[in-house]
Chains A and B, each alone.
Chain A
Amino acid sequence: MRVRTFRPKGMMLGALLLVLALVAAACGDDEPAATTAAPATTAAPATTAAPATTAAPATTEAMEEETETTEAAPATTEAMAEPTTTTLAELEPATIQFWHVYSGPLEEAMNELVARFEAKYPQIDVEAQFTGGYYPTGQKIAGAIEANDLPNLTVAFEDAAVNWGRAGVLLDLTDYVHDPVIGVDVADFLPVEMARNTYLSEGGRMLSFPWTVAIAVMFYNQDMLSGLGFDGPAETWDEFLAQCEVILNDLNKSCYSIQVDASMWNATGFTFGGFPTIDVEARATRYGEEPWTKALDLFATLIEEGYGFPTVGRADEATANLSDFASQQVAYIMTSSRWVPFVEEGVAGSFNWSVGAVPQEFEGADPVTVLFGPNAVAFNTTEAENLATWEFIKFLSSPESQAYWAETSGNLPSRLSVGDSVEYAAFLETSPPMAAAWEILPYALSELPMTDEGNLGPPPFSFRVLQQDVQAELLTGNMTREEAQRKLVEDGATLLGEYYSNLFGS
């Protein structure tokens, strides 16, 4: 065989020219990212405070009273970047990058908010970008941290905020929030929201800021229930089981399509007093305790009696419970209040339905449920950008923006005064399900281990995965209630023990 030795000649030259031509052609719209991140150092976190349970306020008034006395914990450690007190007129021109998770109609709504902000502050340019769901956005931010080219703002959950805070790239919002000139009226926010965004494990700092909330609610088929002689949705689990028995006997239908979801699972457990699910000091779960025994027994009964069925494993799992509800296969589904506009479209007026509280253990009990939603998380860049970012966060959380976002996205406002606005009141009149959700909101609890002052250390996402895995096994009959509790307690202790040891030190 004759094999030639390497002779670069024209072939390589041609290839090189071709590469250059392709690159040049492709580089037509080069717009290198403008932001240069300048992360400051992060002080070591203080040790966590002792956990305590928080009872849901009994009434809206009670919650408002509580609001007046609840202040977010002041920063107890060195702030990552202190704001320079300034008036808005002094805001320097800046471009801020906002990476978010909103696509489709929500992206349009977000773009509208951005346009309103830019009209109000012409010197600030907001480049809002849809970066996929929370996981891809987290991945992109991990890359941006390495590249030292972070955005100014994103939306994320508490565990991500802790991780980024530990990486020293976050903008500590504590001093901005409480600044006499550029701060906000803390008392106007839901107390649970301010507490959720105050990280006691990180020295009581606000590593994020309330943005948008949703709660777990029961969607119910009004026509089906009234057709069977029921006045309304079940208020207690006993009543719920009784309704389910009638639905099964009279209509030969299950009454409840059960979504495997950690938040819905927690909402059920919280109605039995199973809050919080984690004992941070013990670094263990509380799934072995009586409230969760009752909750897991309820799930087991629902399946055994044929009153409910899980949607896990179905090809259309993401929308399976809605499909069951829209097709009148079931009377109830429990899901996020954020789904109200979607259910409206899915049902398309074919029957009357609404939203109610999750059934409780006892008659007359407060309609306890869970609250969730991402927060605004800012990254520390330049002083001008930090101030512009804070102004944008404030704008997003303003009553006007909150009302607009709530109406267009199906989320609930995190500010109490939004309820007083004529615009939002008019919206609630047109949407009884959202009005019902708004009424329940004051009783909603965070899923995090909390005190009134702040969260004690958000668990990792893998804890939610564990919850959902066990829930799926229980609902599909692959685990008994005892086995489910044992797995949650044992695996939960291992998982949380390792996680909190890393977070607080062993």
Chain B
Amino acid sequence: MATGHNAPQTRMLAHVVLVLLCAFALAPLYWMVTTSLKPLDEALQVPPTILPETASITTYIDIFLETMMARWILNSLFVATLSASGNVLFGALAGYALVRIRFRGRKVILMLVLASFMIPFEATFIANYVLINDLGWYNTYTALIVPWMAGAFAVFMFRQEFLGIPDDLFDSAYVDGSSEARAFWSIGLPLVRAAAVTVFLITFIWSWNALLWPLFVTADSELRVVQLGLVSFQTEGAVFVNMLMAAAVIGILPVGILFFIGQRFVIEGVTQGGIK
């Protein structure tokens, strides 16, 4: 006879609680999707309709026909991919160097990197804006990408990962005549694959969700990203809530799919990084 937490009643109760929690967590998503399928008058209805009375994808069609949403999605993909790739590359290089290479000021650099992680993004806004202007990067993809190609989070994640790799693996490579670059590329990097995927996904999502920075450093509609596009549905004197929700659905799809594919690595990477 099953007892304790294996008892059928306990398991049933646990499942009920989990289902309720899932429903609670998914409710905003459900509301977002169903609202996007309603006409404006129904979307504003109080109390809201649970299922759309007149479900239609017209809003989605309108978004693509009447706005530059397709272009903004491509822009976001381009910017987020390069930013995330940069974080993986430079984070891995920096993390490797901080663990494997002995040089003067190594600890100070690590502390500075970690300290920079604690400075609120907003506090550096104006200084970064001035720098971008001075470099002549205003209103370019460069301004959207380059400042976010390296970050303390990636450096810290990779450093933690490299700390966990036994020295013997590298030592044997050095004995075989391997260079530092070769050791990094052939031994270090494959062993921190989970961290690399985690860093890529998380920084991709950060870049994808960025709003203020793209707003600051771009001027042309052609350079806008998805999040800026969403703002355009909330204008002075009106919030087109159905269009806003449809645009939000479109906006979260790519990042949702990406996260769904890579979630195993993210959980693994974050857990491993945290216990070093």
Contact = CB atoms under 8 A, between A and B. Distances in A.
A429 B184 CA distance: 75
B93 interface: yes
Nearest to A410: B237
Nearest to A18: B89
A26 B141 contact: yes
A397 B221 CA distance: 25
A5 B46 CA distance: 68
Interface in A3-18: 3-7, 9-11, 14-15, 18
A356 B44 CA distance: 22
A1 B167 contact: yes
A71 to B, nearest CB: 31
B100 A103 contact: no
Nearest to B181: A11
B179 A147 contact: no
A347 B216 contact: no
Contact of A22 (B149, B179, B219): B149
Nearest to B134: A147
Interface string B110-151: 000000000000000111011001101111111001100100
B159 to A, nearest CB: 14
B189 to A, nearest CB: 11
Contacts of A350: 41
A89 B138 CA distance: 33
B140 A29 contact: yes
B51 interface: no
Given A132-B231, A319-B239, A2 B167 contact: yes
A11 B129 contact: no
Contacts of B215: 131-132, 136, 140
A420 interface: no
Contacts of A411: 237
Given A27-B142, A326-B44, A346-B40, A339 B237 contact: yes
Interface string A30-46: 11110000000000000
B68 to A, nearest CB: 11
A133 B235 CA distance: 8
A218 B214 CA distance: 38
B239 A9 contact: no
A2 B100 CA distance: 8
B6 interface: no
B100 A102 contact: no
B126 A5 contact: no
A311 to B, nearest CB: 10
Q: Residue among A103, A146, A322 with the most chain B CB within 10 A? A: A103
B141 A27 contact: yes
A348 interface: yes
A139 B217 CA distance: 12
A422 interface: no
B40 A143 contact: no
Interface string B15-57: 0000000000000000000000001110011110000000000
Interface in A269-285: none
B237 A214 contact: yes
Most buried by A among B39, B44, B234: B44
A345 B40 contact: yes
A469 B80 CA distance: 39
Contact of B130 (A97, A143, A318): A143
A9 B138 CA distance: 34
- Tell which of A28, A104, A142, A348 has the most Cβ of chain B within 10 Å: A104
Given A4-B180, A11-B184, A345 B233 contact: no
Given A2-B170, A147-B130, A322-B44, A32 B138 contact: yes
Interface string B155-166: 000000000000
Contacts of A28: 141
A143 B235 contact: no
Given A30-B137, A129-B219, A136-B212, A23 B102 contact: no
Contact of B179 (A9, A146, A336, A410): A9
A107 B103 CA distance: 55
Nearest to B28: A315
A4 B184 contact: no
B180 A9 contact: yes
A327 interface: yes
A411 B89 CA distance: 51
Contact of A6 (B102, B136, B167): B102
A105 interface: yes
A246 interface: no
B129 A140 contact: yes
Nearest to A337: B237
Contact of B237 (A29, A33, A127, A342): A342
A382 interface: no
A468 interface: no
Contacts of A107: 232, 235
Contacts of A319: 44, 239, 241
A372 to B, nearest CB: 11
A30 B217 CA distance: 12
A254 to B, nearest CB: 12
B129 A146 contact: yes
Nearest to A347: B41
B237 A338 contact: yes
A139 B216 contact: yes
A2 B40 contact: no
B174 to A, nearest CB: 7
A345 B239 CA distance: 11
Given A9-B179, A103-B234, 6 more contacts: A7-B101, A14-B181, A18-B89, A27-B137, A327-B45, A346-B40
Interface of A: 1-7, 9-11, 14-15, 18, 22-23, 26-33, 97, 101-107, 127, 129-133, 136, 139-140, 142-144, 146-147, 149, 214, 316, 318-319, 322-324, 326-327, 329, 336, 338-339, 341-342, 345-348, 350, 409-411
Closest 9 CB pairs of A and B: A143-B129, A11-B181, A338-B237, A32-B136, A103-B232, A348-B41, A342-B238, A147-B133, A327-B46
13 contacts: A15-B89, A26-B82, A29-B223, A97-B219, A103-B232, A104-B240, A130-B232, A132-B215, A318-B239, A323-B46, A326-B46, A338-B237, A410-B237
